Amino acid sequence: MAISVALILGLCLAMNMALPTGAATHTVGDTSGWALGVDYSTWASGLKFKVGDSLVFNYGTGHTVDEVKESDYKSCTMGNSLSTDSSGATTITLKTAGTHYFMCAAPGHCDGGMKLAVKVKAKNASASAAAPSPAKESPSESDDAKDTPTTPTSTTNPKTSTSTTPSTETSTTTTSSYTSSAIGGSPIVAMFVVSWISYLLLMM
């Protein structure tokens, strides 16, 4: 019984490692929601937004969620919204990198602080890295190779045969490497193996 429990726990861990991390969902203003009297600049400054994340606006009647351009955001100008909603529960998916601007279009609410700007980063911004440059041959090594004298090959006995015993070590290493990469390289394969072992033990 203890073995079965341990194997089930191992299966859960393997599944957790195999599944990709999903996009984040940010509730604007947290428990305060989308309302007057909330400092949304401070709220946004403590968070990181990336493409694919969602913003959830929760608010009462008399408010709206409008996505606007930067110029309209700064001047609280109404009427040029890119999108607008007044349902009371608005979810907006951040589909592009850059700064996105939101405000409430009710008269006086933008000036009263109901405005939000979020800086969205690309999904793979932290994962991108420059590829390492190939190693170059040092001048000293090149000069040493040129200065090394070449030993002439003796040809006094042309009938002498050369041993061509195959190297079993190289073949074994190659086979071992292929097997290791085929079994251990994929979390999904590992998860399938653990699931099958758990099923066999539970059926015993």
Q: Does 148 reside within a domain?
A: no
pLDDT at 13 over 70: no
- Counting the structural domains of the chain, the total is 1
Has residue 174 been placed in a domain? no
Q: What percent of the chain has pLDDT over 90?
A: 48
Predicted local confidence at residue 187, as pLDDT: 53
CATH at residue 104 = 2.60.40.420
* Report for 70-74, 147-151, 194-198: range of highest mean pLDDT: 70-74
Q: What is the pLDDT of residue 20?
A: 46
Decide: 80 and 68 in contact? Cβ < 8 Å: yes
Residue 133 domain-assigned (yes or no): no
105 within some domain? yes
Unique residue bearing structure tokens 């290791």: 180
The three-class DSSP label of residue 10 is helix
pLDDT level of residue 81 (50, 70, 90 thresholds): very high
- Give the range of the structural domain holding residue 103, as residue numbers without chain letter: 23-121
Identify whether 58 is part of a domain: yes
Q: What pLDDT was estimated at residue 10? A: 52
d(CA 79, CA 153): 90
Judged against a pLDDT cut of 80, whether residue 200 lies above it is answered with no
Tokens representing 150 are: 């070449």
Q: Which helix (H) or strand (E) holds 103?
A: strand 98-103
Query: What is the greatest pairwise CA distance in the chain?
Result: 105
Mean pLDDT (whole number) for 119-132: 65
Please write the tens of the pLDDT for every residue from 83-123: 999 999 999 999 999 999 999 999 999 999 999 999 999 98
Q: Is it the case that residue 138 has pLDDT exceeding 60?
A: no
The number of beta carbons lying within 10 Å of the beta carbon of residue 53 is 21
22 pLDDT tier (thresholds 50, 70, 90): confident
Please state the pTM of the whole predicted model: 0.54
Query: Residue 125 has what pLDDT?
Result: 54
Nearest-angstrom CA–CA distance, 194 and 10: 8
**Could you read off the pLDDT of 28-74 as tens digits, one per residue?**
999 999 999 999 999 999 899 999 999 999 999 999 999 999 999 99
Q: What is the CA radius of gyration of the chain?
A: 32
- The reply to whether 137 falls in a domain is no
**Higher per-residue pLDDT: 181 or 49:** 49
Position with higher pLDDT, 22 vs 47: 47
Q: Answer whether residue 173 is part of any domain.
A: no
Q: Which residues contact 15 (CB under 8 A, 6 or more apart)?
A: 191
* Range name among 14-23, 52-61, 178-187, 189-198 with the lowest pLDDT average: 178-187
Angle 180-184-186 from CA coordinates, rounded to 5°: 130
Residue 2 lies in a domain: no
> How large a percentage of the chain has pLDDT more than 70?
51
